[in-house]
Amino acid sequence: NAGVTQTPKFQVLKTGQSMTLQCAQDMNHNSMYWYRQDPGMGLRLIYYSASEGTTDKGEVPNGYNVSRLNKREFSLRLESAAPSQTSVYFCASSVGTAHQPQHFGDGTRLSIL
C-alpha cells in the first residue's frame, strides 16, 4: 500500500498564479486533512474533511480552497498565490475523526516568488 500520496513534491510559483495540490489515500480512511509547516511553527491545519462530502476550516484557511473529490482524494487549491504561502504542505488521513492517528504524506514543498 502506498498510504498517502501527494503530488507534486516540489513546485515554484510566481505571485498571483494558481495551483492545486493533490492528495490521495488508499487506506479506505474517512477523514482527510491539509496542514502547512513553517519553521518554528509546527503544523497548522488549513482545512479538513471529516467524511466524504464534507469540508471545514482549520486554523489558517484564508487564501485556500479544498475539494473532497471522493473518499480517496482531497485537493488543496491556491487561487492567487502569495509569498506568505511559501511552505511545506502535508496531507494526512485517518480512519475517523475521534481519537484516531493521522497518517501523513511526504509533503509538497511550495515556493512562491
Partner 1 sequence: GENVEQHPSTLSVQEGDSAVIKCTYSDSASNYFPWYKQELGKRPQLIIDIRSNVGEKKDQRIAVTLNKTAKHFSLHITETQPEDSAVYFCAAAQGSGNTGKLIFGQGTTLQVKP
Q: What residues make contact with partner 1 under the rule CB under 8 A?
A: 31, 33, 40-45, 48, 50, 56, 58-59, 90, 94, 96-107
Comparing CB distances to partner 1, the nearer of 75 and 104 is: 104
Q: How far apart are CA 57 and CA 36, in angstroms?
A: 13
Q: What is the dihedral of CA 51, 93, 12, 84, to 10 degrees?
A: 70
**Minimal distance in Å, beta carbon 83 to partner 1?**
22
Query: For 34-66, b where at least 16 C-beta lie within 10 A, e where not — what string?
Result: bbbeeeeeebebbbbbbeeeebeebebbeebeb
**Minimal distance in Å, beta carbon 100 to partner 1?**
7
Comparing CB distances to partner 1, the nearer of 16 and 96 is: 96
What would you report as the CA-atom Rg of the chain, rounded to the nearest whole angstrom?
Answer: 13
**Minimal distance in Å, beta carbon 112 to partner 1?**
20
Comparing CB distances to partner 1, the nearer of 5 and 67 is: 5
